[in-house]
Structure formats: structure tokens, C-alpha cells
Structure 1
Amino acid sequence: MNKRLYDIEQRVTKEHKDLTKFVKHVFDEYDKKAEEHRLLMASNALAGIKTSGTEEKAFYDTINETKRWVLDVLERTIQDFEHTGDKNWNRNFRDGVDE
């Protein structure tokens, strides 16, 4: 996912770099929460509290799916910015990206 974000960041014009910076910050927060969760589960395991493997898988799958979803929305937004003024372009978002 980091490579995909890097590729998107290379396509973005300087005036829209704040979009990719925002997504990086969101991803950093997800990673921080996942690390906190991992440490909590490790301390629970040391205390003898068992956690369900399916719940752990669901937790990490949800984080990864959300990251993919955010990247998809960013990609479509950047496509709309790239095609601003193109009369043959069908916008990804009805309200467009015009400010």
C-alpha cells in the first residue's frame, strides 16, 4: 500500500500534495492503533487471557480494507483533478473537485 500511495503522490500536482499528506497521516494512525492492539493482545496473552483468532483476523482485515478504500477514494479524486476541464471526462464524484 505504501508503494501505491507513493505512486499516487508522484502524480499529484504540488497544490494537491496536502491530500496525500493527509492520507499518510491517517495510515500512520492506523498503524499506531494496530501496534497498540498488538501490544495489548500480547499482554493479555501473558496474563492468560485468550483471544479469538477470528477476531484478530477480522481486526487486521478491517484495517487493511479501510486503507485500500481510502486509497481508492484518493485515486479517484486525483483522477478528477487530473481531468479538470476535460469535457469528455465522466467525473468520479457528482459534486466534482472544483473549489
Structure 2
Amino acid sequence: MRRQMERFKQQLSDQGKLQGRESVLIAFDHLLDLLDEHEEKHRLEIGARSTNGEKSNGEVEAAIRAETEFFRDAVRTVIERTIADLVHRGDKEWKKFYDRID
């Protein structure tokens, strides 16, 4: 997803629409960092439990993985739609995903 963010940044830069919107990309980057930290914290917690001989519940782990994947997909969708709105800003034919994209 990080490479995709760089492509979006390059796309905005190429079209001259990045100026003044760097903070949006920084906010998205922070959101991705938070997701990565959450996953790492969970992995460390599971590792510590297994070191102590505790077995993890497979159903719970599957649910956590599914939830994490859902949030990653949701974040990716919001990023893609927001960037698309920024790229097409001023295009009368573009049907915006979100209002208030400046």
C-alpha cells in the first residue's frame, strides 16, 4: 500500500495538484502506520502467549485477521477515492466520491 501511496503522490505532483495537499497524504501515511503498529502489537502478544505455553483460539485469530483485512481495505478505498477526487478536481464530468474535497 505504501508503493500505491507513492504513485498517488507522484500522480498528484505530475498534474500540479499536490501543492497544499501534502497534509492529506501525511494523514493517510499516519493511518497506515497505526494499522501496521496494531498488527505488530498483536503478533508480539500472540508470540508472548505461545512462549508461555498458551494456545491461541483459531476462530478468534481468523476473526482478527478478517477484521484487520477489512480495515486495510476500507483505508485503501478511502485513500483511492480521496486521491481520485483530488486528481479530478475541477472536472465537470467527474462524479465525486466525497464532498468537501478541496
Check whether TM > 0.5. yes
Instruction: Indicate how the Cα distance of structure 1 residues 54 and 8 shifts in structure 2: closer, same or farther if over 3 A, else same.
Output: farther
- Shift of residue 96 of structure 1? 4.0
Q: Which residue of 2 aligns with 1:97?
A: 101
- Equivalent residue number for residue 7 of structure 1: 7
Q: How many residues align?
A: 97
Counterpart-to-counterpart distance in 1, 2:97 and 2:89: 12
> TM-score, with normalisation over the residues of structure 2?
0.79
> After the TM superposition, which parts of structure 1 deviate over 4 Å for at least 4 consecutive aligned residues?
none
In structure 1, the partner of 2:15 is: none
Gaps of 5+ in 1: none
Give the C-alpha shift of residue 25 in structure 1. 1.0
> In the alignment, residue 101 of structure 2 is paired with which amino acid?
V
Cα-to-partner distance string for 1:17-56 (whole Å, 9 max, x where unaligned) = 2112111111111111211111111111122221112322
1 CA distance for matches of 2:92 and 2:46? 53
CA–CA separation in structure 1 for the residues paired with 2:7 and 2:72:
15
Q: TM-score, normalised by structure 1?
A: 0.81
Alignment-derived partner of residue 59 in structure 1: 64
Contact 1:83 1:89 in 2 (8 A): yes
Q: Is the 8 A contact 1:80 1:96 kept in 2?
A: no
